[in-house]
Structure 1
Amino acid sequence: MSERKIYFKILMAICLSMLVVVVGFRGFTKIMGVGSDTLMGRVDQARNALPEIIKEEKDLVMMFGSSMVRAGFSPRQFDREMKNAGVLVKSYNFGFGGLNPYFQDVLATRIKEQFDAGNKRLKLTIIEFNPFQTTTTRRNGAIALEESFLGLLGTDEELLNIAKSDLRKGIRMANIKYLRDGISAEMVTSFYGRMFAEPRPRTDLPRDSEEHQKRLQEVGEALNKKFDEEYPNFVDSQWSMDWQGGGTIPEERSEETLKLFDEYYALLQSDHRMDNARLNRVHTADIEELNFDPLLMDSFINLVKTFQQFSDQVEVVILPQNRKWIKNPPEAIARFDRAVEKIQNETKAKVRNFDRSGRYDYTMFSDATHLARYLGDVPFTNHLIEVYEPILRRD
């Protein structure tokens, strides 16, 4: 056999082996139930909506942040009440769970590129500073995701630049983006590592009674049924253009549905569930001590500066937390105040702390941090309207 044929067979064997590995890896992650749609579904859907958003003739308002923004800001309510006050805007909820400021910084750049290409500006950008998303604990918990998120959010040019400075990393990220459906080997290792990790602390408070748990399940199922009845034409998505990235609004729901929501959250707000939610945030995000990560702080400041390049006005807000359960010691409050001062000094953006307004109590939350549907998002959105209606009218 000639050397040429031998080399060809070796090459074919290598290619076949790579194909088997790629197919096996994608099959494995599919069985695990993870992929780019799991990681980035809402982000991708929002990004895909940007060309249509940019065509909107009304002044544009964007609220950008974490899952707390996703839960707490109702854009359709915001627009309706602004219209009633004589201010015509179109607002969008760009709140995404699981993205710390390092990832948000990259996403902000992608959004800016779309607006620049469409020669469009935002009238107002409201950016959430989420303190517990900016801690060292939070960053350490997301390190396994970094290459996956950056591979999915990064452009070909950025991946090429990475490859020029670190060839192995560049090839690895290209594999993640184009061959592995956004899943890195570190993610898989981390997934299984959690099975053997020390379990997070659990509350010592009494468990909910079986009757309580049963009723919670019944009400949850009833609400799902009501949703199907009241929104028969809804196309399932994580970010709906029709709803401007937000959720449902009470004006669309029946009286019976609203009563079910009241009961559902009353059941959900048990001491056992709330304390477990608190402990989870302590374990995964250092929510009480707030030891800030320098890189995440710099990333947040940079994303604010990015939005300032294509927004007429940018403000930073701190959303309310469930202060019945989340308590910060004086040292943590001092660290938080220094972080806010740093943001103000380096961006010159106004920072508004809704968490210190005294207007939000535990009944408005679905857990330790997220505002509840209707009970929390409606009051918070109304609060935003009070603040920003005079500003938007003046401008």
Structure 2
Amino acid sequence: QPPDTPAGSPAGPADGPLTPKDTEEAQTKEKKAFDFWHKAAEQGHAESMNNLAVCYFHGRGVQKNVQLAIKWWTASADLEYAEAQHNMGVCLFNGRGVSQDHTFAAAMFARAAEQQHPDSTHMLAACFQNGMGVPRDKAKALELYRRAAAMGVEEAHVKVQVFEDRATRETEISQLGQRLENIKDGFIQLQLERSATEEVTHAYKGAGFFLSNVKSETPIRARIEQAQKAENEIRTLRNDVAQREKERQALLSGHEDKMGEIERLTEMVKELKQETFTQKSQIDTLTNEKAALQAEADRHKVRIKELLSEVTELRTVADWARNQRVDVLKQSLQAVIKTSMEEQNEREKKLKHEIEQLRIRLGRAAGGVGAEMDAGDHAALFLKQTRRDLFLQEVLLRKVLAGVRDQEFKDRISEVHEMEQETDALERLS
């Protein structure tokens, strides 16, 4: 019997306990695979049509819909995609999603078998063996089983061996039967001759003669010995036939064990196909993710180039702005110094005038030179202190201006360092 579900079925989650995260990731990957196959199928890609039908059939990445699965398998089979033809044949053979039709199923298997599809070749051999959808033809079935076995179908190897063993047994039994018939015919002939001889002997005895005096005594004994030998051979043949029957029963029992082993191997193959399908889906998803990451890396590289260009421009602008501000600060400082010097000169003039006036008043008031010199010394000392204060203010002002310039320069340098760190981070990310 064919498998109950089409080949190429998506595998379920891995063995062992599953967490909600594992289930969610599997569903996400199945959904991505379904979306990719759906886009490709709409563009006429036969393999994607088959994969899309498998997803619909088992509800992987989409809600289960057997009718849509049949639709996409039919479309893929029309494009002569062997796997889809095989899956469609299995559905027709078992009546899954469509009306059961062994004839149409056998036709689908034949189309796929022409493309060297192993499972379809094996299924077509089973159809010819059992006369399902095609006329019964054991020779054709054996030929197809041998082709499927050559393609690696394990069950086909066993079927070929069973066919050959059965043909050998049938030939041997036929030969034994023919020999038995020949021996039976000879034995019957001997019995008839023996009966005729006994009648002749009885007639001779009635006439007063003895059989020992008849010249045919030796041929009759030879015939009797031949009959006994034939009986022994018949007995031997019967024992041989019984032994062959026991061997046949043992072979049938071994065949049942092998069929059970084949079923287990078939289940293992189906699980491997499902696992392969899942791995293929994962590879497709990872390939798409890799392409997306590559595209994102390319975008980052372009952005890094733009940022490096912006950094260069910002450095140029920062240098220009710094130079401009230094020039402005120099001009401001010179203006401040000039203003301070002018104010200082004015104050000195005023102080000199005041000192002169003070000297005059002191001279008039005290009338003595000593007092006038003392007041002049005080005025000179006041003027010296004033000059020193102005000089200190000028030095302080220069320091303040220099500090402003240094802080601005430090801020610009910090900004440039931050830009360089961000650029390094983007390069590492790419």
Normalising by structure 2, report the TM-score.
0.20
Which protein is richer in strand relative to its size?
1
- Radius of gyration: which is bigger? 2
Which protein is richer in helix relative to its size?
2
Normalising by structure 1, report the TM-score.
0.21
Give the number of the structure with larger relative contact order, counting CA–CA contacts within 8 Å between residues 6 or more apart: 1
